[in-house]
Structure 1
């Protein structure tokens, strides 16, 4: 599958703001809170954020690369209708390749909810290792997260 990384436009943000996930993954829905909805509606204004289109010119996800005190942190989200279709590895691999070429980092980390076994498996297959765990108060509930890192 071919992935095309683009600078987000307002129309992309409007689409991303509508993304809703099923079951336990509803935690990631972009309308979960007003704050999250506002974030999604403004992705096109964020620095180092990209939208990802497939070869059919369909928006399939977005990602961001945040440099926090020399630590490159990856954020990513796949459009709900594309999740669970065994394309996660290709999707994340393409993001990592794009990011490495653009930012030339020697390691990158990400945060993933501990319940998200599908994503954790993909990250492990791509060489990420768990380096920390913590609990974060999100949406008035304590959510366990794993910090994973990939070295190059």
Structure 2
């Protein structure tokens, strides 16, 4: 993607009507088999379930869902979700997905920067966390460049086959 196209991208709060497009991107990322815990055959989320999740996220003042759009097409999204527990009310975790053909163009960075701006303005949020496969070095480099630090590692957390495992790296930033 050229610099010119990137300049025409917008980051905005998701809308209910974006649900199907968000699900399509999630299905694409799951099908790649590299960056998501679920594998294709176990990922069966329906449009109705996605719609309900989007609605609930947007209605929660401690959560957000942002989309990246280029020429009217949603090409990526980032969510920040919390748990409904008092002792965890100051923190939450993010998930981010960008269409494969749009990666390495700065879209992930734009989404993360906008999320961090939102988190800093949110009076409830103090800590933004994430988990990332240890093999996802591009993502880890991006997170570190924005100030995230590794706070833990779950060794051999994911079993890919009888002889291959992946560590899960836990990262955070205080806002």
TM-score band by shorter chain is 0.7 to 0.9
Pair 1:91–1:65, CA change in 2 (3 A):
closer
Corresponding residue for residue 146 of structure 1: 169
Corresponding residue for residue 4 of structure 1: 12
Aligned residues: 150
Question: Of residues 8, 19, 22 in structure 1, which corresponds to 2:28?
Answer: 19
Alignment of 1:1-152 (within 5 A): 1=7, 2-9=10-17, 10-20=19-29, 26-28=33-35, 32-38=39-45, 42-46=49-53, 47-48=56-57, 50-68=65-83, 69=85, 70=88, 71-102=91-122, 104-134=124-154, 135-137=156-158, 142-152=165-175
Taking structure 1 as the reference length, what is the TM-score of the superposition?
Answer: 0.77
Gaps of 5+ in 2: 1-6, 58-63
Q: Give the structure with higher Rg (CA).
A: 2
Give the C-alpha shift of residue 32 in structure 1: 3.1
List runs of 5+ in structure 1 lacking aligned partners: none
Q: CA RMSD in A?
A: 3.1
Output the CA distance in 2 between the equivalents of 1:89 and 1:41.
29
Moved over 6 A (4+): none
Q: Secondary structure at the match of 2:105?
A: coil
SS at match of 1:137: strand
Shift of 1:75: 1.3
